[in-house]
Chains A and B, each alone.
Chain A
Amino acid sequence: MTARVGVVTFPGSLDDGDAMRAIRLAGAEAVPLWHAEAKLHQVDAVVLPGGFSYGDYLRCGAIARFAPVMGLIVSAARDGMPVLGICNGFQILCEAHLLPGALVRNEHLHFRNRDQLLRVDSPETAWTNAYTDGQEILLPVKNGEGRYVADPRTLDELSASGRIVARYLRGNPNGSLRDIAAIRNEAGTVVGIMPHPEHAVEELTGPSTDGLGFFTSLLKYLTGVPS
């Protein structure tokens, strides 16, 4: 059966369309989820897309965390449902305490929009098993508040337990601590990433097709999960 992958649209989401397209290109069914509707429509996994949910008012992701659909996503994620948060989605995962730390204003205050080289350092997650350990990938990065911060103990713990999924290579675009571009939960089912894999899935529009692996990884992961 075709896997069903939900993509949440919040007011102010921008990349929900690209995320749905990436899911379809990987071979799954993309299921639109509406922020105000407390329904998951029997999805097997969820992508929280990039954008400026609720205008980024208060803090990025702070209000989205309390959206009716998020309550269901948080409890399903705690029960093992894979969730990928991209950019604003990563901020929401941190605000919802599914991932530790927070994302704050870029160190240099500039919005950064460029193609960014990353190194995949945790290829055992539900979203990165298509990559090899240490593989370098090129994805667009575009954020103004993408600087990952956490206290030193949390950073040490993430590092020691292999939960830093990807690091920035050849220049850190936002001052992110320890060059962190992506992290995961202990189970490897919840991943937050600042750069945009969904914008790098086709030669025509992306700097590479390196991002498609996030979505094919999920399908591979789901085939191994008893339903």
Chain B
Amino acid sequence: MARVVVDVMLKPEILDPAGQAVVNALPRLGVSDVASVRIGKRIEIEFAGDSEPDVERAKEIADKLLANPVIEDFTVRVEE
């Protein structure tokens, strides 16, 4: 069954303190050359039945529920 994958990221101008916390932890692993980490969400949608994945409906779902357009951007793609 084909899946639709929605990636949700905070908009670039919105501070991501969780990502910053990861950057701050990296030197403890001996990693000192990472300038920025930003954390988002990956959401996998499977529609019922055998029909082709409905990207348009996935976009609607993402826009209305999965992402908040005030603070987040999203992309929708079919996973082969």
Contacts and interface: CB of A to CB of B under 8 A. Distances in A.
Interface bracket on A: 20 to 34
A141 B16 CA distance: 22
A62 B65 contact: yes
Interface in B18-75: 18, 21, 65-66, 68, 70-71
B68 A95 contact: yes
Interface bracket on B: 10 to 19
A93 to B, nearest CB: 12
Contacts of A63: 65
Interface in A54-74: 58-59, 62-63, 66
B17 A149 contact: no
A63 B15 CA distance: 23
A20 B15 CA distance: 36
B80 to A, nearest CB: 26
A109 interface: yes
A153 interface: no
* SS class, residues of chain A in contact with chain B: loop
A106 B17 contact: yes
Given A62-B65, A104-B14, A109 B71 contact: no
A66 B71 contact: no
Contacts of A45: none
A109 B68 CA distance: 20
Interface of B: 10, 13-15, 17-18, 21, 65-66, 68, 70-71
Given A58-B65, A104-B14, 8 more contacts: A102-B70, A104-B10, A104-B71, A105-B18, A107-B15, A149-B14, A149-B71, A175-B15
Interface of A: 58-59, 62-63, 66, 94-95, 100-102, 104-109, 149-151, 175
Which 4 residue pairs spanning A and B have beta carbons closest together? A102-B70, A102-B71, A109-B17, A105-B17
13 contacts: A58-B65, A58-B66, A95-B68, A100-B70, A104-B15, A106-B17, A107-B17, A108-B17, A109-B17, A149-B14, A150-B70, A151-B13, A175-B15
